[in-house]
Amino acid sequence: VSNEPAEEEGDSGETSSEEGSAGGTMNDEPGDTVTIGFSAPAADHGWMGAITSAAVDTADQYEDVELRVAEGTNDVNVQISQIETFIADGVDAIVLLPFDGAALTDVATEAMDAGIPVINVDREFSSPFAARSTVLGDNYGMGVSAGTYICEQLGDQPDAVVAEIQGIASLPLTQDRSQGFADALSDCGLDVDNQVSAEFTVQSGEQVTANLLQAAPEIDAIWNHDDDQGVGVLQAIENAGRDEFFMVGGAGSLDVMEHIQSGDTVLQATVVYPSTQAADGIKLARLVAQEKDLDDLASSSVPRTVQLFAPVVTADNVDQFMDIGFRS
Amino acid sequence: MVTEDPAAPLLQMQGIVKHFPGAKALDGVDLDVRAGEVHCLLGQNGAGKSTLIKVLAGAHQPTAGTIRLDGDEIAFPHPDTALEHGVATMYQELDVVDGLTVAENIYLGHELASAGFTLRRSAAQRTRQLMDRLGHPEISPHREVGSLSAAGKQIVSMARALSRDARVIVMDEPSAVLDSGEVDNLFRVVDELTEQGIAIVYISHRLEEIRRIGDRITVLKDGVTVGRNLDVSTTATDELIKLMTGKNVEYAFPERPGVPDDAPVRLEVTDLALADVFSDVSLTVRAGEIVGLAGLVGSGRSEILETIYGARRATRGRVELDGKSLRRGSVGAAVAADIGLAPEERKSQGLLLDEPVYRNVTLSSFARIARGGWLDERAERSAAAEQAAALELRPNDVERPIRTLSGGNQQKVMLARWLVHGCEVLLLDEPTRGVDVGARSEIYDLVRRLADAGTAVLVVSSEIPEVLGLSDRVLVVSDGQVVHEGPAEQIDEHQVLDMVMEGSVA
Amino acid sequence: MSEQQTSSGAATHTPTARAGGRRTRGRLPGLSGLSGATVRNLGLVAALLLLCLVGFLTGGDRFASLTNLMIVLSLAAVTGVIAIGMTFVITTGGIDLSVGSLLGLTTVWASTLATQTMADQYGWIVMVGCALLVGLAAGLINGVVIAYGNVVAFIATLAMLVAARGLAELIANRRTQIVDQPSFETTFQGDLLGVPKIVWIFVVVAVAGWFLLNRTTFGRRTVAVGGNREAARLAGIDVKRHLMYVYGLSGLTVGIGGVMLLARTGAGSSTNGLLLELEVIAAVVVGGTLLVGGRGTIVGTVIGVLIFATLTNVFIINNIDSSVQQIARGAIIVAAVLLQQRFARRSKAG
Amino acid sequence: MSEQQTSSGAATHTPTARAGGRRTRGRLPGLSGLSGATVRNLGLVAALLLLCLVGFLTGGDRFASLTNLMIVLSLAAVTGVIAIGMTFVITTGGIDLSVGSLLGLTTVWASTLATQTMADQYGWIVMVGCALLVGLAAGLINGVVIAYGNVVAFIATLAMLVAARGLAELIANRRTQIVDQPSFETTFQGDLLGVPKIVWIFVVVAVAGWFLLNRTTFGRRTVAVGGNREAARLAGIDVKRHLMYVYGLSGLTVGIGGVMLLARTGAGSSTNGLLLELEVIAAVVVGGTLLVGGRGTIVGTVIGVLIFATLTNVFIINNIDSSVQQIARGAIIVAAVLLQQRFARRSKAG
Ligand SMILES: Nc1ncnc2c1ncn2[C@@H]1O[C@H](COP(=O)(O)OP(=O)(O)OP(=O)(O)O)[C@@H](O)[C@H]1O
Ligand SMILES: Nc1ncnc2c1ncn2[C@@H]1O[C@H](COP(=O)(O)OP(=O)(O)OP(=O)(O)O)[C@@H](O)[C@H]1O
Ligand SMILES: [Mg+2]
Ligand SMILES: [Mg+2]
């Protein structure tokens, strides 16, 4: 289904994610059996869980792929050791979603030097030589999309109150998202009045939101970075009985899309941050390892960088996105 | 008044054997106890007395042997079972819980409760009755036990034994932390109990106490019964000591050679005070002199020693050693100036129980044993072994963990620590508490030898005869004040008692 | 100067002080056995009030409102219930590191499709029963390993922490499970007499915990086991069984917390309760329960939990940067403990 | 079967065993004063060997290779160095929860633009000095608060955990700082004689730690303070100052760990060391150091760290689902402790 006409003209953001479904391209023909090592941070929030599940599911679709999944860890020391083990094992390719891109750069370079192609997913290495190919989400772009959407809605009210609920504040990706958000808002003369950070978890989302709502008695718009913690955020809003504002989500979980579709909550939109990145990574890794090309492209080999688009999902276009939403 | 046939034993223990990993504590002990008697258990430190009564209490399981109660063979797999059968025990190690109140401690394990809820009022009421009976109406049932003195805790422990419907009450060195007034009180209660036909098993190292209340004696040595059914009134002290130690021991205090008049003053304490505990304590100890501090439990003697030593910060006053002032509140300064303290509670204040003997001995002497922070274990061992041999440590093995030594030998290790260090002033707090007769006279001799070698010794003891017998000079302390000072020969036990008699246990 | 004054003042009062001292060993005269705990709690209350003052000065009506009070209480409720159970564990001298991950496990297990489907048939009791049973069972396993296996509590419950998180992930398949069970929602969500139901649950558990610790044989034995394990054994208490029960109790309170969290967030997730253990233990210890065992205070624990909840609230109301928040939080924890100690000392000295 | 064999074997040797036993109290015959610790370590070694056996049976050459050994050792190195410091802390009866977040702080501080620029001028010593100083200073602050402020270690270091993380975030501005300092990289990255340099550092620190604990007055004092604080004080040891030093030492090892982690990852980040504290403590305690203090073993700690590292390695090699991994990890931790106890008991009985 990857060659649906709708997609050709529509959102390019779907290109890569569409590959997740059982495809019918030439490249899906079985080839040499390849072993792919996969390592990602701990599945301590829904999006990360979805990443790993999607990667495993994708690998299962190919009988010529043997996937090695390392224990999800937030300890870069352990993750480095996992990659070292993959290198020692002589896997054919490595798909790596590093807990911290910079910290895993050296070991990824080592893998590349050892002739093992590394597909870098989501959090970028600090050196271009560390990965054969990089599948990137667009964190900055996500913030920009959310900010732009809020600007569209509130642009005529310069003193509108905008609140932001971050994920784990200490992660670079959070900073990128916030930066994009702030930049986009400043374009239309708005700024972030209240900023809190949760932990990407339902529980923390509920806790900080309950307090946030108290801190800000009048709000016009909220951007919540992560739909998984959004479950708690929504519940807190419901518990507080507040509805004078609208909310924009982040990541694009199926629940959120359902809410957008039905319009039963303050959720008006969400910004997609594909949870299928690692699945794409697996596909690319397989192609690279089998020395095949990405036959949807005219150029002859797998591209160095695939940056996924961060589209805004609203009630108008939600139907198109339902099938890439992940169950958080 | 004995109710049944006095000869029929109420309790019979036969051939009790108890092995610990690597040690045989009991190797065939027999004991029979009649209703209404005070049965005394004698033996040196480590003879196995406490182990035997722990077997009786169900706290240890015997390796072999039988226990009969009223002629029926019986086993006590848990402390609970023994208590249910009317065997109540006051243990040697204080077995109270500091965080609970007096009433809660007494009824711990057999709480007065309905549907799991404690009946605090009736517990308090009964506790008051028990405390009245023990002569301590001032101890409130709601008081936290942690705030009581050691003697007060012992009384709670006794009340607990009484609160059980006991037929046999075992008392393991109950008088160790009591002073003479308290001991009188204890004996009055013991008399009451025996009149009701309750049997008492009484353990003590003080032979004079056994003379006062005992009926019959069983003697243990090295985990074996060596003397049974000895009548208190007809057995001579020499004979008991011989049974216990296997040799003839002079149970006497060493000679007092007398301190020469020109002996320099080693320790001089001027107007020392510790807020709310004692005030205006002034004393001197000359080289070669043994000075004793007599007084009731709780009169503040331990605090005086600890304050001199710097373990407590004096609120006022001065401590001088050979004319040089010591820094206030610094143990390090005291130790560096060659003052040593053997504290009152050996186990909690003095020893590293899991560490071997030699490490306990050298703990204060790193300055001598170590070079630039590096330890020379061989030097440590040999220094410790030398003292162990001189003190006749039993067993004479410096590798053994202190925990496995008997009380008297633990005390010797404490002394060895200061011998290795080399002290000008030695502060001894209750140096013979829980120490058996044999070891006692060894410790007396040792202290005297130290004094003869020029050490100034300050001794605290709750046993007035000991203070009087050992010291050259005695200070009597009452309620934080020195009320008398004079040569030990010129005062007797009754005079001391008269001087201190308005004290309290709590 | 002031030292001089104090000591001369003490000298004047020496006779009375000594007389009083003889009875109560340097405690304040005239206060009964509870006074020690009460005085220690005063320091905590002072810390809490200070925090509230700061909240009021910086937040004004946004802080000092009934709504905000309810927010703080709701925030405190789940942690608070679990802290009650933890108070018992710490009073025995133990520790339970598994509460956070067990909280995740109970919410996941009680909100699986299967459980919710059964609940549609038999009512909310199925979900609640499931949460309580899972919590209790896991707690009892902790207890057995610790009491009968002689594994030190820190390690045994750390192992449970790791294992329970893994199990929760397996069961939830790493997804968030939304609660969509009307009978559960109507029973546990929303308010009762203007107060959120989960706050009521917290109040009930705290009161029950207070009675259990202070007025029952179970509670007194808990103190005894923590204060002097050997003495407790010699008094005929089955120490091992008791320890097992105490860890079971902790697990049970986690189960209750799980129900409350499900009600509050409307979702079961294996990430629930991440790092909760440290917060709960901190609240209990700041509250005055001794880590070495032998002394526990439910009132202190409740105040400790409220201090932490209020702190979060004040921070967010003042819109403080999260890094700065953390630095301040660290400093405030230490300050609260020091303040509490100061009170305790002064009460002794006075 | 095998148990039968062992016990009959022991019976044959009984006479010797008893003779030895009289001197060394039921220890294995012929072993000197250290034997207690050695015997306990035997249980650990058995656990490690068992794990290696499983690794070999399931992974074959992929497990039993020199490369893989180096991978395991590199993984263990950072944790191991910090665990050495932690062993001292736990031997005093304390705990240091702040090591993980201090690790983050030291890596961040040592890799700021300012530090790296200075390092370009004066060499890698600037970065190393910075990491060590930051670790040492934070450790000493812990020590002062604990020893002189009388704040219980759990709370004091928990506060430091929170505060240091916040400070690290502030300094790094929540970005990862890349190490781009040639002299540092050439000095600490790569191998020496075929062994990664950070493994060498681990070895050096472990050996130094062993001597410090077993052969110096500092170590002896550490054991004394943990074994009986009051006795140590009355023996003339300045307990407070010593405690301060011990926490300082722990901070210092964290600083060393920070340098190693910077070398390994080439990046300083405030997220470094997340949750490391629990892993380090677990390794130390599984290694046989008593949480209540008074007994510490460096050899045990090293084996404990190796067990955890090998476990991770075996899991990866066997491609086990990560949720299942966690459940297994929990079970194995408990099993290792039980195995160790079994050895200790049997040695006593023999
Ligand atoms: N738990 C134990 N493990 C190993 N050995 C023990 C244990 N308890 C006691 N022992 C040993 O058993 C012997 C008897 O000890 P016990 O405490 O019964 O002596 P005791 O007669 O009560 O001495 P004391 O007068 O000093 O109280 C001693 O050698 C002691 O070291
Ligand atoms: N920690 C304390 N706080 C307040 N008062 C105390 C404390 N310790 C002791 N006291 C008081 O100091 C006085 C002396 O105590 P202590 O029991 O040490 O005297 P002692 O003469 O050495 O008796 P003992 O023979 O029991 O050692 C008592 O009145 C006691 O109430
Ligand atoms: Mg005894
Ligand atoms: Mg005393």
Please report the ipTM that was assigned to this predicted complex: 0.85
Contact A208, C265 (CB under 8 A): no
Assess whether the C-beta atom of B50 lies below 6 angstroms from ligand 1: yes
Name the pLDDT band for C8 (thresholds 50, 70, 90): very low
The answer to whether A278 contacts chain D (CB < 8 Å) is no
Assess whether the C-beta atom of B25 lies below 6 angstroms from ligand 1: yes
Window 280-319 of D, Cβ < 8 Å to B: 294-295
pLDDT at C144: 96
If one counts every other C-beta atom within 10 angstroms of the C-beta of residue D207, the result is 13
The verdict on residue D57 lying in a domain is yes
**Alpha-carbon distance A300 to C330, whole Å?**
56
Q: pLDDT digits over D77-129, tens only?
A: 999 999 999 999 999 999 999 999 999 999 999 998 888 888 888 888 999 99
Q: Do D316 and A77 touch (CB under 8 A)?
A: no
Question: What is the atom index within ligand 1 of the atom nearest the CA of B51?
Answer: 18
* CA B344 to centroid of ligand 4, rounded, Å: 6
The verdict on residue C19 lying in a domain is no
Contacts of A113 (CB under 8 A, 6+ apart): none
Q: pLDDT digits over B419-463, tens only?
A: 888 889 999 999 988 787 778 888 898 899 889 988 999 999 888
Window 198-237 of C, Cβ < 8 Å to B: 211, 215-218, 220-221, 223-224, 226-228, 230-237
Beta bridge partners of B485: B475
Question: What is the atom index within ligand 2 of the atom nearest the CA of B296?
Answer: 21
Q: Tell me which residue in B334, B355, B375 faces D216 most closely, judged by beta carbons.
A: B375
Q: Do A100 and D267 touch (CB under 8 A)?
A: yes
Q: pLDDT digits over D283-303, tens only?
A: 999 898 988 889 899 999 999
Q: Provide φ and ψ at C111, rounded to 5°.
A: -125, 20
Contact C299, C102 (CB under 8 A): no
How far is B300 from chain C, CA to nearest CA, in Å?
Answer: 12
Task: Give the CA angle between residues B347, B349, B354 to the nearest 5°.
Answer: 45
SS3 of residue A64 by DSSP: coil
Which one-letter DSSP state was computed for residue B347?
I
Q: Do C26 and B99 touch (CB under 8 A)?
A: no
Long-range own/partner contacts, residues B18-24 (CB < 8 A, 24 or more apart): B18/B48, B18/B51, B18/B52, B18/B55, B18/B60, B18/B62, B18/B63, B18/B223, B19/B63, B21/D26, B21/D348, B21/D349, B22/D21, B22/D25, B22/D26, B22/D27, B22/D348, B23/B404, B23/D25, B23/D26, B24/B223
Window 256-275 of C, Cβ < 8 Å to A: 261, 264-267, 269, 271-274
The answer to whether A88 contacts chain D (CB < 8 Å) is yes
Question: What domain range is C130 assigned to?
Answer: 39-349
Name the pLDDT band for C26 (thresholds 50, 70, 90): very low
* CA B3 to centroid of ligand 1, rounded, Å: 35
How far is C132 from chain B, CA to nearest CA, in Å?
Answer: 22
Domains in chain B, CATH or no CATH each: 9-245 (3.40.50.300), 265-502 (3.40.50.300)
Q: Provide φ and ψ at C292, rounded to 5°.
A: -80, -5
Q: Provide φ and ψ at B286, rounded to 5°.
A: -95, 160
Q: Provide φ and ψ at B218, rounded to 5°.
A: -120, 135
pLDDT at D237: 92
Helix (H), strand (E), coil (C) string for B376-443: CHHHHHHHHHHHHHHCCCCCCCCCCEHHHCCHHHHHHHHHHHHHHHCCCEEEEECCCCCCCHHHHHHH
Size of interface A-C (CB pairs under 8 A): 108
Q: How far is CA D150 from CA A81, D144, D238, in A?
A: 40, 9, 15
SS3 of residue B40 by DSSP: strand
The verdict on residue C2 lying in a domain is no
Residues making up chain A, counted from first to last: 328
How far is D37 from chain B, CA to nearest CA, in Å?
Answer: 12
pTM above 0.95, yes or no: no
Q: For residue C90, give the nearest of C222, C244, C182, C262 by alpha carbon.
A: C222
The answer to whether D333 contacts chain A (CB < 8 Å) is no
The answer to whether A170 contacts chain D (CB < 8 Å) is yes
pLDDT of C240 strictly over 90: yes
**Alpha-carbon distance A47 to A55, whole Å?**
12
Question: What is the atom index within ligand 1 of the atom nearest the CA of B24?
Answer: 12
Assess whether the C-beta atom of B298 lies below 6 angstroms from ligand 2: yes
Q: Do A211 and C266 touch (CB under 8 A)?
A: no
Check the CA dihedral C306-C308-C312-C315 and report its sign.
positive
Report how far Cα C222 is from the mean position of its chain's Cα atoms. 16
How far is C295 from chain B, CA to nearest CA, in Å?
Answer: 6
Q: Do A203 and C271 touch (CB under 8 A)?
A: yes
Which residue has the CA at smallest separation from atom 3 of ligand 1?
B20
* CA C26 to centroid of ligand 4, rounded, Å: 17
The region, left, alpha or beta by phi > 0 then psi within -120 to 50, assigned to residue B143 is beta
Q: pLDDT digits over A45-78, tens only?
A: 777 888 888 888 888 888 888 888 887 888 888 8
Residue of C nearest to B95 (CA): C231
The verdict on residue D12 lying in a domain is no
The verdict on residue C269 lying in a domain is yes
User: Which tokens go with D123?
Assistant: 């060499």
Assess whether the C-beta atom of C19 lies below 6 angstroms from ligand 2: no
Q: Which protein residues have their CB within 5 A of the ion that is ligand 4?
A: B 302, 344
Window 360-379 of B, Cβ < 8 Å to D: 363-364, 366, 370, 373-375, 377
Q: How many helices (H) and strands (E) does chain D have?
A: 16, 4
If one counts every other C-beta atom within 10 angstroms of the C-beta of residue C13, the result is 11
The answer to whether B83 contacts chain C (CB < 8 Å) is yes
Which one-letter DSSP state was computed for residue B327?
P
Which one-letter DSSP state was computed for residue B488?
G
The verdict on residue C76 lying in a domain is yes
The answer to whether A242 contacts chain D (CB < 8 Å) is no
Name the pLDDT band for A26 (thresholds 50, 70, 90): low
SS3 of residue A190 by DSSP: coil
How far is D289 from chain A, CA to nearest CA, in Å?
Answer: 24
Q: How far is CA B241 from CA B92, B244, B406, B409, B470, in A?
A: 22, 5, 18, 18, 20
pLDDT of D8 strictly over 90: no
pLDDT at C242: 96
Residue of D65, D79, D99, D174 to mutate for A, most A C-beta atoms under 10 A: D174
Assess whether the C-beta atom of B222 lies below 6 angstroms from ligand 1: no
Mean pLDDT of D307-326: 84
Which one-letter DSSP state was computed for residue B356?
B
Contact B421, B340 (CB under 8 A): yes
Assess whether the C-beta atom of B299 lies below 6 angstroms from ligand 1: no
From first to last of its 506 residues, what are the pLDDT tens digits of chain B?
444 455 678 899 999 999 887 678 898 899 999 999 999 998 887 788 889 999 999 999 999 999 999 888 889 998 989 999 999 999 887 688 988 999 999 999 888 888 888 888 999 999 999 999 888 888 999 999 988 888 888 889 999 998 988 899 999 988 888 877 888 888 998 998 999 889 999 998 888 888 889 999 999 988 899 988 888 888 888 888 888 877 766 667 888 888 888 889 999 999 999 988 888 899 999 999 999 998 877 788 889 999 999 999 999 999 999 989 999 889 999 999 999 999 988 888 899 988 899 999 999 888 888 888 898 888 889 999 998 888 888 788 888 888 888 778 888 899 999 988 888 999 999 998 878 777 888 889 889 988 998 899 999 988 888 889 899 999 998 888 888 888 988 888 888 887 876 543 33
User: Which tokens go with A111?
Assistant: 């893998």
Contact B148, B98 (CB under 8 A): no
Contacts of B172 (CB under 8 A, 6+ apart): B49, B50, B53, B89, B90, B91, B92, B203
**Alpha-carbon distance A126 to A101, whole Å?**
7
Which one-letter DSSP state was computed for residue D62?
G
Which residue has the CA at smallest separation from atom 16 of ligand 1?
B48
SS3 of residue C329 by DSSP: helix
Q: Tell me which residue in B331, B355, B366 faces D217 most closely, judged by beta carbons.
A: B366
The verdict on residue D4 lying in a domain is no
The answer to whether A103 contacts chain D (CB < 8 Å) is yes
Q: What is the CATH number of the domain that holds D295?
A: 1.10.3470
Q: Provide φ and ψ at D159, rounded to 5°.
A: -60, -40
| Residue C55 CB-density burial (10 A; 0-12 exposed, 13-18 middle, 19+ buried) | buried
Largest separation between any pair of C-alpha atoms in chain A: 61
When computed from its CA atoms, the radius of gyration of chain C, rounded to whole angstroms, is: 22
pLDDT at D31: 38
Structural domain total, chain D = 1
Is it the case that chain B and chain A have 3 or more CB pairs lying under 8 Å apart? Answer: no
Residue of A nearest to D66 (CA): A88
User: Which tokens go with D349?
Assistant: 């009985």
SS3 of residue A118 by DSSP: strand
Which residue has the CA at smallest separation from atom 29 of ligand 1?
B46
SS3 of residue B228 by DSSP: strand
**Alpha-carbon distance C134 to C114, whole Å?**
15
Q: Tell me which residue in A53, A206, A215 faces C62 most closely, judged by beta carbons.
A: A215
User: Which tokens go with B428?
Assistant: 């001894």
**Identity (one letter) of the amino acid at C68?**
N
**Identity (one letter) of the amino acid at B343?**
P
Q: Do B359 and D234 touch (CB under 8 A)?
A: no
Q: Tell me which residue in B98, B110, B479 faces C227 most closely, judged by beta carbons.
A: B98
Name the residue of C25, C27, C28, C347 whose CB sits within 8 Å of the most ligand 2 atoms, as the mutation to test its pocket.
C25
**Alpha-carbon distance B434 to B410, whole Å?**
10
Assess whether the C-beta atom of B92 lies below 6 angstroms from ligand 1: yes
Contacts of B246 (CB under 8 A, 6+ apart): B221
How far is D307 from chain A, CA to nearest CA, in Å?
Answer: 14
Question: What is the atom index within ligand 2 of the atom nearest the CA of B299?
Answer: 21
DSSP C53-95: HHHHHHHGGGTSSHHHHHHHHHHHHHHHHHHHHHHHHHHTT--
Which one-letter DSSP state was computed for residue B265?
E
Q: Which ligand approaches the C-alpha of residue B278 most closely?
A: 2
Contacts of C237 (CB under 8 A, 6+ apart): B108, B109, C221, C224, C225
